Chain A
Amino acid sequence: MSVLTRTPAPLDRRRISRLQGKARYAPSLATVGLFLAMFAVGAAMYPGFLSGQVFLNLLIDNTFLIVLAVGMTFVILTGGIDLSVGSVVALSMMIAAALLQAGWNPFAVILLVLLTGAVFGLAMGAVIQVFEIQPFIVTLAGLFLARGLCYVISVDSITVTDPFFTSMAQARIPLADKLFVSPGVVIALLVVAVAFYVLHQTRFGRTVYAIGGGESSALLMGLAVPRTKILVYGISGLCSAIAGILFSFYSLSGYSLAATGLELDAIAAVVVGGTLLTGGYGYVLGSLAGVLVLGIVQTFISYEGTLSSWWTRIVIGALLLAFILLQKLFTRKVRLT
């Protein structure tokens, strides 16, 4: 025996492992806990805060952000980033508004917009994969390109007067006890549900996590890495298009400057929701919670009438920093064992 190396006798490995498993949920659960705490604080401070409708309004006001965060979660789980989503939302709105103005059938318009978003995302994914370029740069180019295309369509704001779109904007789906949601909420939650299913119940979804865990390992394990990476950006593009449609339902117009900086809100929501920017760890439900936390910050500011709306940004910034530090703590714990 000349190799004289030995680690201490293994402890009860089964028990340690279980703890490890639960630790994966910690950041996302922290977000849910934070949301509940903020809701409780709000209820204590303001009369009328503690109502079902306040919660539902959070969903109604943030449908597009929820959908964007879902697409972004896929991308970030692989360790990538998609900066183009805000611009693609604006482009989707512009295309929809322009085509509706030209008298197109609203359903054909929606279909075309979704197709455009998906193809735009797939194209970026293909560039990232084939030429091995940083996602940051490719999607930054996508950001400028999509924004520029908005101006090509129209410099001015276009109002949407299509009856289907206006009906969607005004429709209220009543729930029990005078509570209601908009159709957009149903669509957004449907997107969340589908994403959850895809990530946890399909080989494609597991490959997304595997790529985040180690791309070269995933390749050597014989997984469809290139296809998955391209598709992930396609999904983000598709989600941006859906978000664009939802935003159109909400605002009933198309405007070249709409949704500026929205990609950063989406990234913030995903990170606050517990997804690691380096990929591999995170949950789409966490991202949903992240959006709700950002939303409730806004609600707070509006309840507190004296505060300037810039406080939203400041609080979001502080939250983002806090969560990134939390994640750092969490990953350090994982590495040590």
Chain B
Amino acid sequence: MSESTPVVDMKGISIAFPGVKALDGVDFRLFPGEVHALLGENGAGKSTLIKALTGVYAVDDGTITVLGARQSFGTPAEAQAAGISTVYQEVNLCPNLSVEENILLGREPRRRGGIHWRNVRRKAEEVLDQLQLGHIDPRSVLSSHSIAVQQLIAIARAMQVEARVLILDEPTSSLDADEVQQLFSVIRTLRDRGVAILFVSHFLEQVYEVSDRMTVLRNGRLVGEYLTADLPRMGLISKMIGKELDALAELEEAESRRQPDRAERTPFLQAEGLGRKGSVRDVTITVHAGEILGLAGLLGSGRTETARLLFGADRADQGRLSINGSVRTLRTPRSAIDRDIAFSSENRKEEGLISDLSVRDNLILAMQAGKGWWRRVPRSTQDQLAEQFIETLDIRPANKDALIRDLSGGNQQKVLLARWLITEPKLLILDEPTRGIDIGAKTQIQKLISGLASGGMSIVFISAELEEVLRLSDTIAVLKDRHMVADIPNDGVTMEDVMTVIAGTGA
């Protein structure tokens, strides 16, 4: 690979935004026929580098050479014309149009009298077949396909222009394991045909599975370029976060937390056969004070639905729920809050944070709601609480007046956590608190959760990453096809054990 000349050669790239140097003298090379992973924590400059390459941002300093020619792209269209195609995290296609149109929109073959629809279909079928996606009907409407298939169609569109360089920006963030494999097989097909692929992902397993080479960025600077085979995962993580395995040591510490003795304590929350028509059923769980209950299961297995039942966001119509020993029906989130239950949604943008308000305003929301709107929390208390939680949770920037939307995903999540912590709940339900945030912040949040449980708080922890569920939880409730199938105490349970339960082959 390294013998050939690079298709993309970026040298000394610097880009500054008001007050920040987003990129500082970064070099980046991309060779034909390789999958090159671009790694770094949030804010390391990955997206800025991609945007420089695709013509979204102008470069302040440095040169970009594509296929031997100096380039300075002014628009994404110019970059596209030079053979650089990008598939973004959110599918950028038109859901109302057919698959074939989405692949060829703007480049439809024409004849006298308009678009040559038969050729549109032929060309779409050609490119789909090349990517081994022949099973997709080119005439079907895009919105009838899953996000994963839409993503593959977006790649098909990118390849239809004979792209030499394909940039995949977090393509797997909304895909499940099977779909990721399907995507990877397409990526490998393209690589073998000599396409240079730039792959950005938060999932290190995937990076190791699919990439040949990696470039690591940190704080807008280049850390280095490595062959994937030469850099073990621990080494990569320490290069990304810039600390020698500190974070990992912290994790070990989290793991050594004493498990509470179940028999001695009274359960805080007990559900027996809890369910709701059309949602989930058979949820039978017990959460003691100081215990972490992990909910495991595939996407769509009913994890979030269970959380919503426990919080009263959906009303249960089957089974029994008792809190602190007395039977309760939770009709609204408000009645759950009154019983000291807090819920942090997986959807932090839509069901959590108010992005135009400051960190302090967001922090204070739940507390203020609990007190009632006519009894305003005094400004001095607000400031004091904000400062306290910014410090204990290490929220950055440490500025209580910063707007939430300017914070990184990990810090937004911490603010959301802090909001509920202020209300001093006895049970905290966390739905995907670590999704889409970088590894440093993830470790911090895991540690925090563990610490809260040690302090006596009950926690229901939901995550798509089984590894994380296993590491944190005392008990694991396994959900499958919208009902609970198992309740496993976490003493020496392995991922394989849980996966066997989920697969339903064992047990």
Contact = CB atoms under 8 A, between A and B. Distances in A.
Given A5-B176, A214-B94, A221-B92, A13 B137 contact: yes
Interface of B: 76-77, 80, 88, 91-98, 101, 105-106, 108, 110, 113-115, 135-137, 139-141, 143-146, 148, 157, 172, 175-180, 203, 205-206, 296-300, 464-468, 495, 499, 502
Contacts of A21: 98, 139-141, 144
- Chain A, interface size category, equals 35 or more
B317 to A, nearest CB: 22
B95 A202 contact: no
Nearest to A212: B96
A213 interface: yes
Nearest to A222: B77
Contacts of B467: 2
Contacts of A209: 94, 96-97
A294 B44 CA distance: 60
Nearest to A19: B144
A207 B104 CA distance: 11
A18 interface: yes
6 pairs of A and B residues whose beta carbons are closest in the complex: A201-B114, A17-B140, A213-B94, A5-B299, A20-B144, A5-B176
A226 B140 CA distance: 28
A223 interface: yes
Contacts of B296: 4
Nearest to A203: B108
A100 B495 CA distance: 86
A5 B299 CA distance: 5
B177 to A, nearest CB: 6
Interface string A210-235: 10111011101111100000000000
B476 to A, nearest CB: 12
Contacts of B108: 203, 206
B372 to A, nearest CB: 36
B466 A20 contact: no
B464 A3 contact: yes
- Secondary structure type dominating chain A contacts: helix
Nearest to B147: A7
14 contacts: A2-B465, A2-B495, A7-B176, A8-B300, A10-B146, A13-B140, A20-B143, A200-B114, A203-B106, A203-B115, A207-B105, A209-B94, A213-B94, A217-B91
Contacts of A222: 76-77, 80, 106
Contact of B298 (A6, A200, A281): A6
A281 B94 CA distance: 11
Interface in A1-37: 1-8, 10, 13-14, 16-18, 20-21, 24
A335 interface: yes
Given A201-B113, A209-B94, A17 B299 contact: no
Contacts of B80: 222
- B135, B144, B300, B502: residue with the most chain A Cβ atoms closer than 10 Å: B144
A6 B178 CA distance: 6
Interface string A46-79: 0000000000000000000000000000000000
Contacts of A111: none
